[in-house]
């Protein structure tokens, strides 16, 4: 797997932002929209900061950008402090010229019986826009991408999933206690991610070193869903030194 190792997450995030801006510019030049798949969490914060800087200082415009977020907790109100809608507004959307109609984040407010149809529609919308040009991923300590926890199938689509215990522990600080972390989420599937034309998985710090080693070097298995990325020739791992420290 192509792995790029940077001195620190700042330099790595700048490089990923530069690549996103390049794809936007290429598509702008041929009058095409750019479809970007986005992640939340700690990992992409510096990437979004750099995209905001590119918008403010370098004239990069997001007017023709369409976004699809990977996931949202379920249930979740969009105006809640912990929602991924709030996260995306705070870190990116409030600071750039994106059209809110072009933003898609899974809806955590649906009745459970509406979710399956909604998820199919999410997939259809991605296809209608021509598919994802560039997909940004983080990785959880369970090996999840999006919220595709161990047990997820490589051809899985957008769906309602149950969060792993470790994933809920890792989110407990944000929610003021693990008991407040939702037990479920709506997530794009591994199959959905695989359809993207280009996939960039980012990981920072030694805390991610052991899961990155598994994802990049260990046998492909649903026990570590990120290992499925080894099957794609469109994936790049962008790491800082800490996250890369256990690679052989």
**Radius of gyration (C-alpha) of the chain in whole angstroms:** 17
Q: Is-catalytic flag, 26?
A: no
Query: Which C-beta is closer to ligand F6R: that of 62 or that of 204?
Result: 204
Is 159 a residue that touches ligand F6R (CB under 6 A)? no
Is 13 a residue that touches ligand F6R (CB under 6 A)? no
Q: Report the distance separating Cα 37 and Cα 42, nearest Å.
A: 16
Is 50 a residue that touches ligand F6R (CB under 6 A)? no
Sign of CA pseudo-dihedral 200, 16, 119, 89:
positive
Closest residue to ligand F6R using C-beta atoms: 138
Chain-centroid distance, C-alpha 190: 11
Query: Which C-beta is closer to ligand F6R: that of 56 or that of 151?
Result: 151
Site string for ligand F6R, 74-113 (x = CB under 6 A): ----------------------------------------
CB 49 within 8 A of CB 140: no
Query: Which C-beta is closer to ligand F6R: that of 66 or that of 200?
Result: 200
Please provide the size of the chain in residues. Answer: 248
| Cis geometry, peptide bond prior to residue 216 (ω within 30 degrees of 0) | no
CB 202 within 8 A of CB 43: yes
Task: Tell me which of 26, 50, 149, 219 is the catalytic residue.
Answer: 149
Contact residues toward ligand F6R (CB under 6 A) are 39-43, 70-71, 138-140, 144-147
Catalytic residue numbers read 149
């Amino acid at each position: 797997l192509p792995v790029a190792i940077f001195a620190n997450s700042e330099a790595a995030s700048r490089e990923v932002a530069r690549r996103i801006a390049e794809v936007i510019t290429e598509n702008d030049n041929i009058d095409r929209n750019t479809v970007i798949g986005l992640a939340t969490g700690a990992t992409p914060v510096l990437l979004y900061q750099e995209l905001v800087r590119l918008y403010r200082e370098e004239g990069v415009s997001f007017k023709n950008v369409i976004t699809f977020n990977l996931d949202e907790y379920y249930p979740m109100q969009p105006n809640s402090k912990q929602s991924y809608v709030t996260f995306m507004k705070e870190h990116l959307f409030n600071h750039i010229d994106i059209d809110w109609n072009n933003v898609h984040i899974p809806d955590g407010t649906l009745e459970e019986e509406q979710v399956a149809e909604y998820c199919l529609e999410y997939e259809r919308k991605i296809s209608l826009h021509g598919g994802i040009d560039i997909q940004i991923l983080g990785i959880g300590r369970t090996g999840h991408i999006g919220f595709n926890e161990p047990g997820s199938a490589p051809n899985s689509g957008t769906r309602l999933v149950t969060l792993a215990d470790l994933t809920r522990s890792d989110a407990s600080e944000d929610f003021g206690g693990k008991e407040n972390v939702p037990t479920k989420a709506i997530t794009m599937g591994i199959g959905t991610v695989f359809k993207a034309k280009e996939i960039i998985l980012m990981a920072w710090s030694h805390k991610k070193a052991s899961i990155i080693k598994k994802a990049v070097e260990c046998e492909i298995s649903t026990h570590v869903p990120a290992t499925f990325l080894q099957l794609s020739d469109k994936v790049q791992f962008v790491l800082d030194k800490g996250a890369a420290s256990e690679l052989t």
